[in-house]
A and B are shown apart, each in its own frame.
Chain A
Amino acid sequence: MSSRTFVALCFLPLAIFTLAFLALPLVRLILASGESEAGWAIYLEILQKPRYLSTLIQTVVISVLVTIAALAISTTAGLFLVRNRFPGRGILLSILTLPLAFPGVVVGFMIILLGGRQGLINQITPGHVVFAYSAFGLFLGYLYFSIPRVLLTVMAAAEKIDPALEEAALTLGASPYRIVRDVLLPALMPAMIAAGAIAFATAMGAFGTAFTLATNIDVLPMVIYTEFTLSANIAMASALSVVLGLVTWAMLLIARSFAGGTVAAGG
């Protein structure tokens, strides 16, 4: 057996598996979205029916807000942890990266423990605040699993910045604010764009968290789920899935062109 044949054989298990379980199902999904009475106009319907359009906008708005908040928090914390060595730093770092492997349902439960009817905030506030099942609860849930993902990417990038750049700026008389604005942020920008896109994409597709929390609010994955299971509207569920998949895939593709590598998704 020649070397070339062997290398080709190495592709074989991958080729069989991905053709059968990735390529074929994705093609079927796209075709199924055009099989309702409306045909391919179903994509127009998504934009015309207020129910779908408002859900789509709502999902995008929450995802954008989560991305901004996660970037702000994780960049601040990440820079701090990279630039300072102190006792307990390792523990803080472990706490901040721990939720990386939590499934979305667990994150949802964490928010219920914070803001649910038996939650901590409800117990310690006089006014009995319950926010777990609102848009704000969903926002916090998405933020919960976005912080570790963004933090890891930002910290990896921050470690590569040459401290000499900051020192040079300092000797030239730059204020701390100017150093952050003119030295650190530009150097971190590619990583922040990449991390932001991952946070956005994960929030767009997060099903588990929404499944646990979204009783009063519709986000796209929940609407897909109900269209499929309750209404048996397979064409619409497929079409919405295609839209969701395209948006997230495009976001990640843009991010990949700015910075390589992908942090573990999930949720």
Chain B
Amino acid sequence: MLKSPAKILQLAVTLIACAFLLVPTLQSVLAGVTVNYFQGVKSGLTLKWIGEVWTLYSSSIFLSIWLAFCCLICTLFIGVPAAYALARNPGRMSRVLEEFISLPLAIPGLALALALLQVYGSVQGFRAHWSFILVGHVLYTLPFMVRSVLSVMAAIDLKTLEEGAASLGAPAWRRFIDIAVPNALPGVLAGSLTVVTLSIGEFNLTWMLHTPYLKTLPVGLADSYASMRLEIASAYTLVFFIMIVPLLMAMQWASARAQRILT
């Protein structure tokens, strides 16, 4: 493997990049369970900080899980039919529409939040409700769901399958529920995991939309970085890792599985 100086250089770059990404992550995990970070690990290991995080921020954690769940339901309800309709009508108009709903991927979350605040910021019941944050999350995650489902629907021979069902007398809505959706399930699964992962980690939009009574997990993280001691901030980050890493791994597995259908 290491036959030439070029290979050694490549390996070195790879390892340095890995260290750059991994070392602070490990530091954070370690700091979260260390009694006193200044004195290092020799001061002992403890779960005290995680306990403190739980008393301080458990409501944020539950709010984030709840938002991610609602966001998933909304993106399924809006995104799957939309992807189906786009798959049935491929063409210039569909391309434009897809480009339009993908705008939240290109426009920074801060700008989107500012736009939402200017239209709905004065609607009191809505502004102070968790559904206001939900709107932001749905806006940001929806394109991932649509694209994921659409790519699978475009790859399977939807037209032939549907013609078969139609010749057996299935009406349009049955063909959608019994043919299109089951065949696109790998795409729906990959999209769903992406939506949940992104919703739990969303900060840019949420920071602008949240109220003091509605802090999500990443907002709580920002709060703990600014005001708590390093051990608590680290312990909270550790809690976040425990939540997000399995989701991320599941997401990559599901995306790879959906990709295999496409090729």
Contacts and interface: CB of A to CB of B under 8 A. Distances in A.
Interface in A81-117: 81, 84, 86, 92, 94-106, 108-114
A18 B105 contact: no
Contact of A29 (B37, B118, B221): B118
Interface residues of A, number: 91
A215 B85 CA distance: 47
B14 A120 contact: no
A113 B201 contact: no
Interface in A1-46: 1-3, 5-14, 17-18, 21-26, 28-29, 32
Contacts of B20: 140, 143-144, 147
Interface residues of B, number: 87
A103 B13 contact: no
A194 interface: no
Q: In terms of DSSP, what is the predominant structure of the interface of chain B?
A: helix
Contacts, number: 244
Contacts of A144: 20-21
Contacts of B84: 7, 10
B101 A18 contact: yes
B115 A241 contact: yes
Contact of A7 (B25, B85, B116): B85
A221 B203 contact: no
Interface of A: 1-3, 5-14, 17-18, 21-26, 28-29, 32, 73-74, 76-77, 79-81, 84, 86, 92, 94-106, 108-114, 118, 120, 140, 143-144, 147-148, 176-177, 201, 204-208, 211-212, 221, 224-225, 228, 234, 237-238, 241-242, 244-245, 248-249, 252-253, 262, 264-267
Interface of B: 1, 4, 6-7, 9-11, 13-15, 17-18, 20-25, 27-28, 31, 37-38, 77-79, 81-82, 84-85, 88-89, 100-112, 114-116, 118-120, 135, 138-139, 142, 144, 147, 166, 171-173, 176, 194, 197-198, 201-204, 207-208, 218, 221-222, 225, 230, 233-234, 237, 240, 244-245, 247-249, 251-252
